[in-house]
Amino acid sequence: MIAGLVILSLIGLILYRNNKKEKKAKIILENALNELKSTQAQLIQQEKLASLGQLTAGIAHEIKNPLNFVNNFSEVSVDLIGETLEEMEKGEKRDHTLIRDNLEDLQSNLRKIREHGARANTIVTSMLQHSRGSSGKKEPTDLNVFIKESVNLSYHGMRAGKNPINVEINLDLDPKIHETPLIKEDFSRVIINLCNNAFDAMRSKTLQGFETLGGLELYQPKLTVRTKSENDHMLILIEDNGPGIPEEIKEKILQPFFTTKKGTEGTGLGLSIAHDIVKAHGGELKVKTKEGEGTEFIIQLPIV
C-alpha cells in the first residue's frame, strides 16, 4: 500500500515537472515567435523607408519641371495684364485688337498653369500613396496612368541617386485597359520595386564594362514596360536588358530575405513583399530570364 502511494507520488511529480517544462518551453517559443514577428515588421518598414528615401530626390527633380512652367506662365500673365490695363487707360485710342489678343493669351496661360499644377498635384499624390500606410481598400484605378506615374517615380529616383545611368524607357500601354481595382499604396511599391531592381541590374552590367569598347557604345540600358489585356486577365510586363538572373538562384529570388546585394544595400524583402502584394490582389508574379540578355517580370491580374 505504502509502496503504491510512493509510486503514484513519483509519477505525479514526474508529470508535474514535465508539464512545468512544457509550459516553460511554450513560453520561450512564444517569446521567440513574437521577437521574430517584431523583427520582420521592422525589416519590412526598413525596406519601405529605403524605397521612399530613394524616391525623395527623384520627386524633387520631377516636380520642379511643372512648377517652372507654372512660374513662367504666371510671370508672363502678370506682364499681359499690366500691358492690357495700360491700353485700357488710353480711352478711345485703345487698341481693341491688342486687348483681345492679350486676353486670349492670358486665357491660354491660365489653362497651362492649371494643367501643370494638376501634374504637380499628381506627382505629390503618387508620393503620398507610396509613403503612407496601406488603407487596405481597393479603388478603381486607371492602370495605364498608374503604371506611367510609378515608372516615372522610380526613374527620377534613380537619376537623382548614387551612380545614375542613362536608360531608354519604352512604355507600351494597351489602350483597351482602363480602370482596375487596386490598393494603390501597396501596388505602387510593386511597380517601383521591380523598376528599381531593373535599374540596379542594368547598372551592374554597365559597370562590368559592357558600356563602351574602343570609344563605341555597345550597351544601351533599356526598360520596357507593357500592359496587355488577355481574355479574363491582364498583364503588366517589366523587362530590362541587364545581365539576367543565374539559373541557380532564379527560384530563390521571391523568397524572403534572399538578396544578391552586398552589405546593407538590400534586406532581401523587396521582391518578397511585391510577390505577396500581387497575390493579395488575386494575381501572380512570374519571372523569365536569360543570363547575359535580361529579365522580364510578369504580373498577371484578374479582370474584375
Least confident among 3-12, 76-85, 140-149, 187-196: 3-12
pLDDT at 214: 46
283 has pLDDT over 80 = yes
113 has pLDDT over 60 = yes
pLDDT at 54: 56
Query: Which pLDDT tens digit goes with each residue over 230-256?
Result: 888 899 999 999 988 877 776 666 665
Least confident among 34-43, 155-164, 207-216, 272-281: 207-216
pLDDT at 216: 41
Query: Which pLDDT tens digit goes with each residue over 162-180?
Result: 788 899 999 999 998 888 8
23 has pLDDT over 60 = yes
Helix axes 2-88, 184-205, angle to 10 degrees: 90
Whole-model pTM?
0.62
79 has pLDDT over 60 = yes
pLDDT at 250: 66
Question: How, if at all, do strands 222-230 and 216-217 pair?
Answer: unpaired
- Pick the most confident of 43-52, 78-87, 113-122, 158-167: 78-87
Three-class secondary structure assignment of the chain:
CHHHHHHHHHHHHHHHHHHHHHHHHHHHHHHHHHHHHHHHHHHHHHHHHHHHHHHHHHHHHHHHHHHHHHHHHHHHHHHHHHHHHHHHCCHHHCCHHHHHHHHHHHHHHHHHHHHHHHHHHHHHHHHHHHHCCCCCCCEEEEHHHHHHHHHHHHHHHHHHCCCCCCCEEEEEECCCCCEEEECHHHHHHHHHHHHHHHHHHHHHHHHHHHCEECCEECCCCEEEEEEEEECCEEEEEEEECCCCCCHHHHCCCCCCCCCCCCCCCCCCCHHHHHHHHHHHCCCEEEEEEECCCEEEEEEEEECC
pLDDT at 63: 76
Q: Residues of 234-263 as b/e, b for ≥16 C-beta within 10 angstroms?
A: bbbbbbbbbbbbeeeeeeebeeeeebeeee
215 has pLDDT over 50 = no
Over pLDDT 90: what percentage of the chain? 15
